[in-house]
Amino acid sequence: MKKRIFLTGLLFLFAVEAVILLLFTVWDADDRQDSARINEIVQTVQADWDALSDGGNPSKEQGELPELSYAVLDREGTVLLRTDAGVSTSINAAVVHRDTMLDLVVDGETVGKIIIANDSEQIFKKRKQTFFFVILAVTILQCGICAGYYVYLNYAVIEPFQKLNGFAQRIAGGNLDVPLEMDRANIFGAFTESFDIMRSELKKAKIAEAKANAGKKELVAKLSHDIKTPVASIKAASEVGAALADNDRLRDNYTQIIRKADQIDTLISDLFTAALEELRQLTVSPGDMESRGIREMLESADYLHYAVISEIPECMLYVDRLRLQQVFDNIFANSYKYAGTQVDVTAHRKGERLDIRIEDQGGGVCEEELPLLREKFKRGSNAKDVEGAGLGLYISDYFMKEMNGELVIENGERGLAVTVCISLNAGVL
């Protein structure tokens, strides 16, 4: 509907411009003058000829005469009256200028001539100016409509697609905590709502997968313990048998059993380690980035607008932009879930790194739980009734280490404080 209104208005303005240009093209200056006005001037001058010849003026006030400039000459060509400096005062000049020349007759005798200036050129110039300003106004109106429609397109189409682009990058990076906020009245409202529903479903699936992995980890730990116990018993009995064996053949058999028991124990340990290392397959590709981009990333992570962000020092960083965004997203998501308070964000440059400290006002966690928050599937006691998998800080810590940085978790003055220590570019400090 808005598109139709815009196109209709634009076509109407183009039509107006075309009509104006057509009128201007076919219109020609009319050299003819108003005979009624000319006759009135002639009659007035003839009636007051005696006063004019004696150096006087017509009996009518100048302002009451018709709006034409003229000059009055006697029979010898002497100028008796000239109403405007631009009026011709000679026959030759009047002919060149296409002025109107008439004889003045008093009592049946020609006493002089009146030269009335041709004003068609001035009228033509005024009309040209009028056409110019009308076309200029229509053009400005067109530009205004186009600019307004561009703003509308930017708001209704370009910005939603940019949000979708950033949303898709986060989904591809495994971040499912930040919702896709979009005006439901927008033309893409239903479309974007479907994307956010997809994110919610993926998040549920991810949580279910995390719970399954946690269950698998517990199962692997339990089985490894249960298997290691009888294997250890077999190994111990074999060592005793080997010590008491009275011949080499029997001693070799016991030794072989011991070796196989050690092999089984190693395989069980490898299985347990592999389960712990599953999440370390996420790739991190750090590169150069200016610190001015940090504010944008923090504001993007703070989609509930709880944060107060201080000035960011200017420097060149060595980071993976996508993974650093995911780190900030995870920290803010945890703050929203477990604290739900204002978040203070400060930035300080320390040596060859930039520290971004993010502190909420939720009271923090127990001191003995702080080291556990960076471990997989570990959460504080305050997270008992809150949905989550216990992977956010674990993954964030892994990302920061891969970027030669560090994640420091501590209790601040009012709540939990997480400091993201970002390495500076070694070549541009």
Burial class (CB in 10 A: 0-12, 13-18, 19+), 209: exposed
Beta-carbon contacts of 139 under 8 Å, excluding residues fewer than 6 positions away, are: 17
pLDDT of residue 370: 84
**Which pLDDT band holds residue 371 (cuts at 50, 70, 90)?**
confident
| CA-angle at 391, arms to 388 and 392, nearest 5° | 90
Residue 280 has pLDDT above 90, yes or no: no
Higher pLDDT, 290 or 117: 290
pLDDT at 61 over 50: no
Query: What is the pLDDT, as a whole number, of residue 276?
Result: 53
What is residue 360's predicted lDDT score, i.e. its pLDDT?
92
Whether 320 and 404 have beta carbons less than 8 Å apart is answered as no
> Read out DSSP for 254-280?
HHHHHHHHHHHHHHHHHHHHHHHTGGG
Stretch (H or E) spanning 5: helix 2-26
Which residues touch 404 (CB under 8 Å, ≥6 apart)?
286, 318, 423
∠ Cα 183 188 190 (to 5°)? 80
Q: What would the pLDDT profile of 175-191 be if each residue is shown by its tens digit?
A: 766 666 666 566 666 66
> How far does Cα 260 stand from its chain's mean position?
65
Distances (CA, A) of 202 to 159, 323, 387: 24, 19, 14
How many CB atoms lie under 10 A from the CB of residue 182? 20
Which secondary-structure segment (H or E) carries 358?
A: strand 353-359
Q: What pTM did the predictor assign? A: 0.45
Residue 386 structure tokens = 């809150």
Nearest to 404 by CA among 424, 418, 387, 381: 424
- CA gap 9, 15 in Å, rounded: 10
CA of residue 70 relative to chain centroid, distance = 66
SS3 (DSSP) at 406? strand
> In the structure, what pLDDT confidence band is assigned to residue 58 with cuts at 50, 70 and 90?
low
pLDDT in tens, 257-279: 887 777 677 667 666 565 555 54
Please, are residues 404 and 318 in contact by the beta-carbon 8 Å criterion?
A: yes
CA gap 68, 56 in Å, rounded: 19
pLDDT digits (tens, 9 = 90+) for 231-244: 766 877 888 888 88
Give the Cβ contact number of residue 363 at 10 Å: 13
Which is more confidently placed, 343 or 194?
343
**Residue 354 reports pLDDT greater than 50:** yes
Residues with Cβ < 8 Å from 306, sequence gap 6 or more? 332, 335, 336, 341, 342, 343
Say if strands 353-359 and 316-319 run parallel, antiparallel, or are unpaired: unpaired
